[in-house]
């Protein structure tokens, strides 16, 4: 690794290690700019992630700075230089406590929805949206980690990511599309408001059971009948899931989460529909009134 430091002209500080990658905080000596360096074996999967990152130049997507290939211990590795964030969403919420103030919740929800909308508008399915892969930098959202992302052209059936956040169709190995990200987004929004995942449990089977008990399933989900019936073989839906949450963050914010957490993908909102959700119109109206009031106070 010492030879690598000389070759890359970088100062490295260890940040995090995954199953097939190590991430360092680094300072690029020529510019003294701080960034993150992801070091991983040079594989087709790594090159696909690189391809995804290069697609975007957006404030809510982690920025790509550069890449190169180096040999480490006789094996070729891909090093990707990226924007350095402050912390993952998980640490952020644990640090400041859940964001259940309706206006603050809308602010962070608007960023998340816009970020997912940007991905989907470019034909991308992230597939692993979680409180670990959503980063915070100066109170702004940054979506990162595209190592299992795919495109809408591919027929996706495989299960990836945290099972606590996976959509029902992914958990059941059904074919899925971009709406699997919308489900994950709903789970993350619930986490932001409460500090807890809505369907937290120890296995995918128990997660499915919790989903069924809290929300219900469409009638064609025969494979999981035992998880969501009351023993009489009848399907059921809750008329007002997460009702206690509704009282905390307000009707419009609650509805935003519910539109994400529809067990039937056909009924679940698209990222475009979420982007145009009425809760954000209300947020913009409040912001506009505040801006006008501040402007008038400045003039007079």
Out of 166-180, 181-195, 277-291, which region has the weakest mean confidence (pLDDT)? Answer: 277-291
2-82 sits in which CATH class?
alpha beta
| Segment holding 181, helix H or strand E | helix 179-194
- Determine whether 59 is an active site residue: no
DSSP code string of 184-218: HHHHHHHHHHHSS-TT--SSHHHHHHHHHHHT---
| Segment holding 183, helix H or strand E | helix 179-194
Specify which of 59-73, 226-240, 285-299 reaches the highest per-range mean pLDDT. 59-73
Read off the DSSP letter of residue 85.
P
Residue 247 has a pLDDT of: 85
Task: Name the residue with higher pLDDT: 280 or 90.
Answer: 90
User: What pTM, to 2 d.p., does this model score?
Assistant: 0.85
Domain made up of 87-285: CATH architecture: Orthogonal Bundle (1.10)
Out of 9-13, 56-60, 71-75, 266-270, which region has the weakest mean confidence (pLDDT)? Answer: 9-13
Catalytic residue chosen out of the listed positions 128, 145, 147, 181: 128
Contact yes or no for 240/246 (Cβ under 8 A):
yes
Contact yes or no for 32/24 (Cβ under 8 A):
no
C-alpha 82, offset from chain centre: 18
Domain locations in the chain?
Answer: 2-82, 87-285
Q: How confident is the model at residue 126 (pLDDT cuts 50, 70, 90)?
A: very high
């Amino acid at each position: 690794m010492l030879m690598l430091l000389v070759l890359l002209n970088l100062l490295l500080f260890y940040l995090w290690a995954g199953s097939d990658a190590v991430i360092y905080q680094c300072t690029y000596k020529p510019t003294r700019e701080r960034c993150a360096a992801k070091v991983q074996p040079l594989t087709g999967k790594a090159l696909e992630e690189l391809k995804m990152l290069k697609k975007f130049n957006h404030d809510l997507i982690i920025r790509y700075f550069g890449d190169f290939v180096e040999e480490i211990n006789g094996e070729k590795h891909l090093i990707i230089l990226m924007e350095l964030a402050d912390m993952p969403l998980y640490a952020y919420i644990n640090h400041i406590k859940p964001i259940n103030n309706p206006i603050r919740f809308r602010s962070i929800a608007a960023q998340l929805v816009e970020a997912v909308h940007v991905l989907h508008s470019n034909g991308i399915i992230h597939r692993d949206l979680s409180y670990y892969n959503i980063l915070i930098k100066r109170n702004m959202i940054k979506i990162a980690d595209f190592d299992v992302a795919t495109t809408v052209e591919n027929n996706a059936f495989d299960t990836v990511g945290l099972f606590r956040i996976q959509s029902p169709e992914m958990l059941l190995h059904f074919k899925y599309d971009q709406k699997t990200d919308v489900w994950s987004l709903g789970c993350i929004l619930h986490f932001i408001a409460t500090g807890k995942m809505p369907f937290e449990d120890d296995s995918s089977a128990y997660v499915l059971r919790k989903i069924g008990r809290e929300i219900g399933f469409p009638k064609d989900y025969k494979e999981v009948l035992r998880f969501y019936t009351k023993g009489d073989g009848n399907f059921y839906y809750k008329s007002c899931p997460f009702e206690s949450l509704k009282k905390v963050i307000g009707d419009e914010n609650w509805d935003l989460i519910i539109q994400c957490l529809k067990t039937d993908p056909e009924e679940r909102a698209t990222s475009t529909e979420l982007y145009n959700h009425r809760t954000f119109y209300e947020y913009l109206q409040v912001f506009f009134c505040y801006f006008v009031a501040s402007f008038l106070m400045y003039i007079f």
